[in-house]
Structure 1
Amino acid sequence: MKIVFMGTPEFAVPSLEALIDEFGVEAVFTQPDRPKGRGKKLAMSEVKEVAVKHNIKVFQPENLKKSRENIEELKSMNPDFIIVVAYGQILSKEILDIPKYGCINLHASLLPKYRGAAPINWVIVNGEKVTGNTTMFMDEGLDTGDMLLKSEVQVTDSMTAGELHDILMKQGGELLLNTIKGIVDGTIKRTKQEDEKSCYASMLSKETGRIDWNKDSKQINNLIRGLNPFPVAFTNYNGEVMKIYEAEVLNENTNSKPGSIINVSKKGIKVATASGVLLIKKIQFPSKKPMYVEDYIKGNTIDKGDIFTS
């Protein structure tokens, strides 16, 4: 079995490792090394680190579609499969047609829902109760190819995007192995996506995290959970940006103006919303570390009656 793997971030690592253990991997394509950290030193992607560790040949084209050299190299490998997990580049039809069995993508949603760049985050922001992974044959569209296998995950009311990411990341490898075996032995039925049931999970920006206190407490809490650990939901307090990492919806009502601080205690900051009360538990101010409210108020003040602004 000749497999070429294309992926970049941590999410792709368990899938790559599963493929190495089960079949071996001929080559890895990943994004070019990028500056990271305060020192802006060039750093390898998480996928490249695994490939180097296993002495697998690594290719890092800036734009694979436009790199004749890399495309010809791919053709010369004559792969059975190209497996793609969060690679970060669009593949041309010429590349999609190279492998014997096709290009297989692992996508972190139950397609056709949440096609696009940030499915894990938007599933939580939108209050979904179930999500999962989907494997599919790739075509020229964005996550539009025929579906192969799915695995489901229940989304709890307290789960963050980071926690859901880790669950889906660990499950992805097994789903890919089962997909490859099922394609080779002919036991998997490919299913066309129903485009009318699709929705798009757009890229996140800092602005995505701006809290609108005129929404209800559950919607705001979903935003906080869905943007933890990145890019993090935020509000403004006394002219400073306050990031919010953790909160809880309380079974309380109030007539206070949305955004008003109702009470501050070791348990957290009670805030009025358009409907219900939210208890903010973990926060971060500029140049400070994230802290639980209990620890923050030991040396700082957050006053009852003040108002958070969007």
Structure 2
Amino acid sequence: MKIVLITQDDPFYLARNLDYLLKKLPPFAQVVGTVVADVSPFGKRETFTQKARKTYSIFGGPFFLRYGLKFILSKLRRQNSVRYVLKKHGVPLIHLEGNINRPESLQKIAAYQPDLLISIAGNQIFKRPLIDLAPKGCLNLHTALLPKYRGLMPSFWVMKNDEKYTGVSVFFVDEGIDSGPILVQKKVEIGNRSQAGLIKYTKQLGMDAIVESVEKIHAGTYELIENDASQMTYFSFPTREDVNAFLAAGKTFY
């Protein structure tokens, strides 16, 4: 089974988790190429200065300094680079110019003859020609128990809303946002974790869920879980007021 990954150059969590995933994929699954977009933590393309200003204004000085330092250190440590991990595993980069849905982008991806596409922190909306490009479909990982908490930063929102449980969902992508049928879902007790601790745990759990999904697709025997739109909730990026409420409720970022 030939797989093309679609991800972004996240400096905080993705490199170690992609390394974990590439080590755990079964022998029949070969990652033949990866699209790596520029990091976009706010769900849309912004300049570095815009990202920095928004982080500071919403999350405050201590958060900004902590993650700013982590960002700098990640650039100095090659093992924290997504591209470094891919090179270590011999996975080629697929270089695209502009939107992933452009005909030229689709042609480049199709040249790798993927059987399956897997999006991990992909930061663009996929259109039908891309979704249908691989015969076995296109999977996406979302770190929440869909259909609840569709959208951005589910780890923040489940904690702010004092949920007792969250989880991960691997689903087949459709043209909506986190709306496709679910293939694998795993539940997690939040407990007293910080947001960083919750992200770290669910990211790795998500890699296990992807491996399980690949095995199910290879076997050809699986039952889909309905991603019931009537039960959905959707969250966008938090405001400063949301962050204040998060902290007032005794929740911690790290």
Which TM-score applies when normalising by structure 1? 0.63
1:47 is aligned to 82
Query: 1:201-212, aligned counterparts within 5 Å?
Result: 201-211=235-245
Give the structure with the larger helix fraction. Answer: 2
Change (3 A) 1:99 1:18: farther
Task: Say if 1:64 and 1:71, in contact at 8 Å, map to a contact too.
Answer: no
SS of match in other structure, 1:127: coil
C-alpha distance in 2 between matches for 1:205 and 1:177: 35
Which residue identity lines up with residue 20 of structure 1 in the other structure? Answer: L
1:193 is aligned to 227
Which residue identity lines up with residue 99 of structure 2 in the other structure? Answer: L
Unmatched runs of 5 consecutive residues or more in structure 1? 212-217, 230-310
Task: Say if 1:65 and 1:92, in contact at 8 Å, map to a contact too.
Answer: no
Which residue identity lines up with residue 27 of structure 1 in the other structure? Answer: G
2:61 is aligned to none
1:301 is aligned to none
Structure 1 stretches of 4+ with a deviation exceeding 6 A read none
Change (3 A) 1:137 1:69: same
C-alpha distance in 2 between matches for 1:127 and 1:62: 41
C-alpha distance in 2 between matches for 1:85 and 1:13: 11
SS of match in other structure, 2:37: coil
Task: Say if 1:85 and 1:105, in contact at 8 Å, map to a contact too.
Answer: yes
Q: 1:185 deviation in Å?
A: 1.0
C-alpha distance in 2 between matches for 1:106 and 1:63: 23
Change (3 A) 1:152 1:138: same
Query: 1:1-310, aligned counterparts within 5 Å?
Result: 1-8=1-8, 9=10, 10-13=12-15, 15-21=17-23, 22=25, 23-32=29-38, 46-61=81-96, 63-156=98-191, 158-211=192-245, 220-222=248-250, 224-225=251-252, 228-229=253-254
Change (3 A) 1:72 1:62: closer
C-alpha distance in 2 between matches for 1:24 and 1:16: 14
Give the structure with the larger strand fraction. Answer: 1
Task: Say if 1:63 and 1:89, in contact at 8 Å, map to a contact too.
Answer: no
1:277 is aligned to none
C-alpha distance in 2 between matches for 1:146 and 1:94: 18
Unmatched runs of 5 consecutive residues or more in structure 2? 40-46, 53-67
Q: 1:98 deviation in Å?
A: 0.6
Q: 1:168 deviation in Å?
A: 0.5
C-alpha distance in 2 between matches for 1:15 and 1:82: 17
Task: Say if 1:31 and 1:62, in contact at 8 Å, map to a contact too.
Answer: no
Larger radius of gyration: 1
Which TM-score applies when normalising by structure 2? 0.76
SS of match in other structure, 1:65: coil
C-alpha distance in 2 between matches for 1:17 and 1:207: 36
C-alpha distance in 1 between matches for 2:166 and 2:88: 32
SS of match in other structure, 1:145: coil
Q: 1:94 deviation in Å?
A: 0.7
Q: What CA RMSD, in Å, does the superposition of the two structures yield over aligned residues? A: 2.9
Change (3 A) 1:161 1:60: farther
Which residue identity lines up with residue 222 of structure 2 in the other structure? Answer: I
Which residue identity lines up with residue 205 of structure 2 in the other structure? Answer: Q
Greater length-normalized contact order (CA 8 Å, ≥ 6 residues apart): 2
Q: 1:79 deviation in Å?
A: 0.5
C-alpha distance in 2 between matches for 1:201 and 1:191: 22
